[in-house]
Structure 1
Amino acid sequence: MVVQVDPPSPESRAVSSPCDICHDFQPVETNPRASPIDRMFNLYNIDIDSLRDECARCSLLKTIFLRLQSSLLSEYDEFEPINREGTQSNGIWLDPKSDGTALARYTWNMQFKKRDEKGDTYFYREMHIYPAVESEIPKSLTMKKLHNTHWSPKSEESIQFVKDLLQTCEAGQGDHHRCHSEHKPLLPTRVIRINPEDESLSLYEPQSGETGDYVALSHCWGPPSRQPIRTTQDTISQMRASVPESELSCVFKDTIWLSKQLGVQYVWIDSLCIIQDDAGDWEIESAKMADYYSQANLTVAAESSMDGTIPFLQETPDRWQRMIYSAPDQDGHPLTFSFQEHFSNEAFFRGPYNYWKGGFNILPTRAWTLQESVLSRRIVRFALSDVIWECQSTIVHRDSSRALRVADRNIRRAIYALHNLEASDEERRDGASSVWESLVTTYSMRAITYDPDKLPAFSGIAASLAPLFQGRYFAGIWEAHLPHGLGWSTARLQGYQPVRCIEGQYIAPSWSWASLPQAIAVEFMSRLGEELEPDFHPKVLEAFCDRSEKAPFGRVRSGYILLEAPIFEATLTCQSSPNRGVRCKLDFGPEDGEGDLTVDFYEDCLLAEEYGFAKRATPDSRVDYQKDLSTFRAKAWILWLYKRGETQWSGIVLGLDELAEGFERIGYIMAGGVTAETRPKNPVRRQLKLI
């Protein structure tokens, strides 16, 4: 049946009684019929089987469920819904808002089809639901059928959205006064030049001091088989003469096309503008990337492209399209809604595998692209479901209805404020420390292809924030934060791979968070800590990192910190899987205090035992104890760093490296209930070297 859709009048809608399942999308806080459980969570918990076909909103929720479940079972074909008595396999958490919109979070409990693989898995999808506006409703549509809007970021409306904001931002109009600059930026060492006469491309090397507007690209290179064309020592002469457009990736072609639409002649693309097989050029140019992105007229973020073969200016994939749905309500009047799933970076805090397999490979999950985003004064994000503008003044979504629902997390404004607004030195330091810790935590969850790039890929952010901190920079830790800054820990987040062994290639000293190669969240507790009593407080005597003068925030060849502090012997034992946590037994001994303490221990990586000492496991380490956890027993030492209150102490756990004549960090420790009776009476201070 094809119908003409007319909005129902308020008078006709007043006749029907509210649905007791979906509550007609009435917010919990204003609904007298909401249950105590609804009020407790401020959400409606809806059983799929209870949805009523005669209710338009219930019909919508069920149609969305069936669509999502079909996609879910196709993508994750190794799973099936749980069918066990007493276990709810799926459901909806519904969060209606006062503006008529709603957020529906669909959940599934799934099990492996192969019964020899144990463990249930939780999946979820979040759907934004809106009352359809007249402009997006087709003149006719089939009742109770989904209508795809077939939106493309290359549409005239989307490109005009970018043009208008770029013009407003450059001019400093309205709220964009922070974004305006009187001077054109210096051009990078190399740029792609678009010839205004015939639109041909060439690699251009500007004269010293030459200025001009340019677009910078933030993109995913992809796996080796799909990586884009690059400039090498063998090809640079050819590239200076002419860049072969036929060899450009889809992402590069889209970027060039967009630059032409915006009237910008120069484009900076890393793989083309850095000589990729020249280590010296790479070191120098990678250290300048902070300047290149911060000074670009606009950064284009190809978020929807996993690699160069996937254009970002194409029709949005079906999963992320806005859909239209109409159904008759109980009184016979059709109600029409639009709904859309928006990719959420928050998925990577809750478990990306259970959200979308492809999510591991797109731009917001990659290490290099964090600084490209944060440091850009203007960036347009071509996301999976939207085009998003971000600058030093604002965040604007092409989908204006979504803008009302998404929190403003504009880190650029915070950094701008730290550099430019009036504040006391203490306020500026506290603010800078908070921003720094937030960025490190976000960065540490991102994946990187080449582990030694861990520090270079964050060097632009470090360089940008360096004026806000006192002293030197040591492999991801500021001198001003020592010794408390050593007290970071690995966070256990759902969906992240368990800690693993440390690869043989050197990345950073063990006391640096950058020494961990895996994508795993780093949390900071130290800024909330108080100094320990003088007998226990560690004193930094010396700190050093061997690094290049050309890239002071980049790679390090070695490093150490020399401390004066007491350390206390401990015994590590495995009482559960090493991937789920090791119980650390802290024994002071009868001459130093009374009793033993069992404390919470967060290992940095998989541990091994060598000559009786605990150490970080490498690919060559023997970890036979994983087959029999009771066989793991190793000596370690505790270095207390700070306290929270009088009885909660935190520190790091050390293993002895006899060959290097120093201690390596192997984990983070927290102890509660530390009292005068359970701590040493006469701690012996000594010098120790952390490597």
Structure 2
Amino acid sequence: MDHAQLGKDELTWALVQEEWPLCSDCDSRIQHFFVGGSSNRVTFEYDEFVEACNVTECALCSAIIEARDELILAENTTLVAGQGARSQRLITIETTSPSMLKIDINREFLDSYKFDIKSDDEHGNLTPEVVSFMKTQLSLCLSDPSHTKCRVDAGFGVEWPARLLHISSTGRDREALEVRLVNFQDPMMGSFAALSYCWGSREEHERNTPLQLNASTKDLLRAGIPASRLPLTLRQAVAVCRQLDLEYIWIDALCIIQDDPSDWMAEAKKMATVYSMAKITIIATGAASSYDGFLKSDVNSAWLDSPFVPPARLVAQRYCTSGFHTNRRLHRPESSDPIDSRGWTYQEELLSTRLLRFTTDDVQWQCNTHSACVCGQPSWNEELYRPRDERESGKPPEWRDLMPHFSHRSFTFAVDRLPALAGLARKYAHEHRPPPGKPDLVYVAGNWQHQLQPSTASPHCGMLAWKSVHFLNPSCYRDYVAPSFSWASIQGYLIFDGTVPTVVLSEVLDVGTTLAPPRGDPFGRVSDGFVSLRGPVIPCHIAAVQNDEPGGKWFTRITIDLVAGDGDRANMPQRLRIQNCYWDCPVSWGESPKGDAFVHRSVTEPETASFGKAMAKIIVLLYGNHEDQGSRFVGLVLGREPDGKRHQRLALVMMESLDGPVVDVEKLNQFNQVVMIA
């Protein structure tokens, strides 16, 4: 085998068996880490490490030296002590890049699961070891009596899909598969797989349209076609089902009539049932499109496999960085798998009872009771590695906690944004249904009506107080998706503000949406919406000037000034000063029929163009305390819709009082107005 060059920007790790004899230097450094915790990582240079150790007696030194000899480690490699998720001792060799390699010297892990050398087979890493892993995990979940949280009954609100794909062999060749579209029948309940995957970009589909269920292909699919005619991602999902002895699979592109809007709406409403009641959900995490495939031929291919003393094996493989092993602290987009950026796949994962993830460099299992991965390496993120039910402490997640993980995701069709949450919304409504005699929860374009209103009884400042954090340039959709007060109207990294209300100053009077179509899914698409608020309103000026600073923000610098400034208290409810302003998206300047200048969201430009002063308003939602930024007022900056008729949300603004922490509620109430935000 050719020696592999391990350069400056790569990383290895080693699991050390507890009974191994270690020299005093190794022992003290590793033990020091575990006593001190992850904040006390101990770093030292390789040459310093070797010089300080007794090579002839220390198993860890021997392993590291052999690794360097075999892999030709860079001379300036750094050793870092770090904690393993399922080990008692861990040493890593690292520098800076997420391009990584691992050295595993824990014999038990290697004897359990190990990938083969790179193969040119279409089914890539679907090796006997991986197939055994999949079957073992599925069988364990289905048979182990301790997996009570994985037993999902066909209870309230279950709507089975109209169709599934039946998988069978063609003739005598068991490996030659065909799929046939069949109507759903009761015996199929809970005995099918579901696929979660990326379709790919709209441009890619227009350039090379994959096979879909539509009016022209319905008869063809009913008659059955060779699986080889399917796009690679779908074809490989069928192969996984075959290995797991599953006869049926649900794939949206082939089980929903794509050119029939009524069928699409009817079947899209059944997502919660499809994914929660499937025997397993196959997540094609590493595939960017339906043509990519997810069974990678070089996933964790062994670079080095040799024995050494004490009895064990030294195996070098790529360091896994996806799924459980994603280092969330790095905040690197390239560290995420393609599926992590797509909208539909978010609820598909959360709704599923059992997940089988095929990431870019690993195969991982997760159910409501147990998690496991083929590679066996420790997890960067223990929270990701735990079973989902354990992470959530058995409680349904708060709706506001879902938004930051969903808001940045993209869609082939922007109008699918709300439907892609409908299954989760339907499940949430069921799990939080009020007692008999109480009104049902009202869902409003990605929000719950009762959560819009801030309250001093809650540590949260309401679902109106969301803001962009600019990790990804936020943008406003060209197509109508949601009213501007809703976070669903913006694509970008969004979070809710952390101010804890002590005085609530605005009241939600009314809220509503118009469904699209009018009698459509109450959790689905909308064509219009509004919220009416009554609260203190402060006039302000908005202007945009070109930002010439190197490394400046993504948009032209937008300034906002209170009309009364820091001056006459008679013209202000309280002397205030702008502290921070979080713009939702680029904005544009407009002019009303009367010649008045106003500001509105821009749906055509990626950046804000310069413009002079224009009038706007701030409605003050609340006064409260922020853990890091102290006491402050929180409000919404309001412009106008492009036609100038209704108010439109532009930003979330923080203001500090120049009169101290006392809030003159009576004075503020004199400035109350009713505003409608569309």
Question: When the two structures are superposed, what TM-score results if normalisation uses the length of structure 1?
Answer: 0.74
SS at 1:229 equivalent: coil
Question: Quick one: distance in 2 between partners of 1:343 and 1:8?
Answer: 21
2:128 maps to which residue?
Answer: 156
**Does residue 176 of structure 1 match 2:157?**
no
Distance in 1 (alpha carbons) for counterparts of 2:19 and 2:267:
67
1:233 equivalent in structure 2: 215
- Equivalent residues in 2 for 1:425-444, closer than 5 Å: 432-433=397-398, 436-444=399-407
| Offset, 1:379 | 1.5
Give 1:64 deviation, angstroms: 11
Seen in structure 2, the aligned counterparts of structure 1 residues 265 and 416 have a Cα distance that, compared at 3 Å, is: farther
Q: Deviations 1:1-40 (Å, cap 9, x if unpaired)?
A: 999xxx99999966x6637xx9875543559xxxxxxx99
SS in structure 2 of the partner of residue 312 of structure 1 = coil
Structure 2 letter corresponding to 1:382: F
1:202: how far off? 1.2
Deviations 1:132-175 (A, max 9, x none): 427849xxxxxxxxx9855964121221222222223223x242
Match of residue 7 from structure 2: none
1:343-401: CA deviation from partner (whole Å, max 9, x where unpaired): 33556774435x45xx56x2232111111111011111122232211122222223444
Q: 1:451 aligns with which of 392, 399, 414?
A: 414
> In structure 2, do the counterparts of structure 1 residues 294 and 621 end up closer, same or farther at CA, with 3 Å as the change threshold?
closer
CA distance in structure 1 between the aligned counterparts of 2:269 and 2:558, rounded to whole angstroms:
39
Aligned-partner residue type, residue 286 of structure 1: A
Q: CA deviation at 1:556?
A: 0.8
Distance 2:109 2:187 in 1: 50
The SS at the match of 1:564 is strand
Between the aligned partners of 1:454 and 1:349, the Cα distance in structure 2 is: 27
- Compared with structure 1, are the counterparts of its residues 28 and 489 closer, same or farther at alpha carbon in structure 2 (3 Å cutoff)? same
> In the TM superposition, what are the counterparts of 1:96-245 in structure 2 within 5 Å?
96=83, 99-103=88-92, 106-107=95-96, 124-125=98-99, 130-133=104-107, 136=110, 150=118, 153-171=125-143, 173-180=144-151, 188-195=161-168, 198=171, 200-206=178-184, 211=189, 213-222=191-200, 223-224=204-205, 225=207, 228-245=210-227
Residues 413, 619 of structure 1: alpha-carbon distance in 2 compared, 3 angstrom cutoff:
same
Contact preservation (8 Å) 2:515, 2:524: no
Which residue of structure 2 lines up, in the alignment, with residue 85 of structure 1?
none
2:640 matches 1:656: yes
Equivalent in 40, 43, 51 of residue 41 of structure 2: 43
Q: Deviations over 1:86-121 (max 9, x none)?
A: xxx9977652557232455532xxxxxxxxxxxxxx
The one-letter amino acid of 1:461's match is: L
Residue 269 of structure 1 deviates from its aligned partner by 0.8
Closer, same or farther: CA 344–136 of 1 in aligned 2, 3 Å: closer
Distance 1:176 1:643, change over 3 A: same
Partner residue, 2:600: 615
Deviation (angstroms), 1:597: 0.5
Q: 1:644 to 1:153 in 2, by over 3 A?
A: farther
Displacement of 1:512 after TM fit? 1.0
Q: What's the counterpart of residue 514 of structure 1? A: 488
Question: Secondary structure in 1 aligned to 2:365?
Answer: strand
Report the more deviating stretch, 230-239 or 124-133. 124-133
Letter in 1 for 2:578: T
What's the CA shift for 1:598?
Answer: 2.5
Partner of 2:530: 560
In structure 1, how many angstroms separate the alpha carbons of the residues matched to 2:606 and 2:523?
Answer: 31
8 Å CA contact 1:640, 1:651 repeated in 2: yes
Relative to structure 1, the CA distance from residue 96 to residue 417 in structure 2 (aligned partners, 3 Å threshold; closer, same or farther) is closer
Is the 1:608–1:623 Cα contact (8 Å) retained in structure 2?
A: yes
Of 642, 649, 663, the match for 1:665: 649
Letter in 2 for 1:133: R
Change (3 A) 1:508 1:168: same
Paired residue type of 1:506: Y
Aligned to 1:232, the other structure's residue is in SS state coil
Deviation at 1:574, TM superposition (A): 4.9
**What do residues 213-239 of structure 1 show as CA deviations (whole Å, max 9, x unaligned)?**
111111122232455321111110121
**How far 1:325 sits from its partner (Å)?**
7.2
Q: Does 1:579 find its partner at 2:554? A: yes
Distance 2:644 2:500 in 1: 31
Render the CA deviation track for 1:535-581: whole Å, top value 9, x for unaligned. Answer: x2323234334344342211111111112222111233457545266
Residue by residue over 1:297-320, the C-alpha shift from the partner in whole angstroms, topping out at 9 and shown as x without a partner, is 111112122223333334334xx5
Q: Is 1:598 matched with 2:578?
A: yes
* Structure 1 segment 518-557 matched on structure 2, within 5 A: 518=491, 520-525=492-497, 529-530=500-501, 532-533=503-504, 536-548=505-517, 549-557=519-527
Aligned residue number for residue 492 of structure 1: 470
Check 1:416–1:259 CA distance in 2 against 1; reply closer, same or farther (3 A cut): farther
- Asked if residue 688 in structure 1 is aligned to residue 675 in structure 2, the reply is yes
Residue 139 of structure 2 aligns to a residue whose secondary structure is helix
Q: How much has 1:322 moved relative to structure 2?
A: 5.3
Change (3 A) 1:335 1:164: closer
Partner of 1:72: none
The one of 267, 271, 281 aligned to 1:299: 281
Structure 1 residue 274 corresponds to structure 2 residue 256: yes
Matched with 1:639 is 619
Residue number among 347, 350, 365 corresponding to 1:374 in the alignment: 350
- Name the SS for the 1:402 alignment partner: coil
Answering whether residue 443 of structure 2 is matched by residue 461 of structure 1, we say no
Q: Amino acid of the residue matched to residue 88 of structure 2?
A: D
Residue by residue, what CA displacement relative to the aligned partner does 1:42-75 show, whole Å, maximum 9, x if unpaired? 2235568978699667768979998899xxxxxx
Distance 1:148 1:380 in 2: 20
1:568–1:278 CA distance, 2 compared to 1 (3 A): same
TM-score in terms of structure 2 length: 0.76
User: In the superposition, relative to structure 1, how do residues 65 and 522 fare at CA in structure 2: closer, same or farther (>3 Å)?
Assistant: farther
* Preserved contact between residue 499 and residue 579 of structure 1 (Cα < 8 Å): no
Aligned residue pairs: how many? 599
Superposition deviation, residue 499 in structure 1:
2.9
Q: Verify the 8 A CA contact 2:105 2:315 in the aligned structure 1.
A: yes
Q: Corresponding residue for 2:374?
A: 398
The alpha-carbon distance between structure 1 residues 321 and 655, as it changes in their structure 2 partners (threshold 3 A), is farther
Q: Verify: 1:28 aligned to 2:33, yes or no.
A: yes
**Structure 1 regions of 5+ residues with no counterpart?**
32-38, 70-88, 108-122, 138-146, 419-430, 626-630
Q: Which amino acid in structure 2 is aligned with residue 539 of structure 1?
A: V
**Alpha carbons 1:170, 1:181 under 8 Å: kept:** no
Shift of 1:462: 1.2
C-alpha displacement at 1:607, in angstroms? 2.1
Structure 1 residues 40 and 242: alpha-carbon distance in aligned structure 2, compared to 1, 3 A threshold? closer
Alignment partner of 1:530: what SS?
strand
- Per-residue displacement from partner, 1:598-618 (whole Å, max 9, x unpaired)? 310111111222233232123
Task: Give, in angstroms, the shift of residue 633 of structure 1.
Answer: 3.4
Residue 478 of structure 2: SS of its match in structure 1?
A: coil
- Distance change (3 Å), C-alpha of 1:266 and 1:52: same
Pairwise CA RMSD? 4.3
Q: Answer with 471-480 or 647-656: which moved more.
A: 647-656
Amino acid at match of 1:100: R
CA contact 2:514–2:527 (8 Å) conserved in 1: yes
Assess if the C-alpha contact under 8 Å between 1:448 and 1:454 holds in 2: yes
Q: Percent identity?
A: 23
Structure 1 residues 651 and 10 mapped into 2: Cα distance closer, same or farther (>3 Å)? closer
- Rate the CA distance shift 1:179–1:594 in 2: closer, same or farther, 3 A: closer
Q: Distance in 1 between matches of 2:25 and 2:307?
A: 16
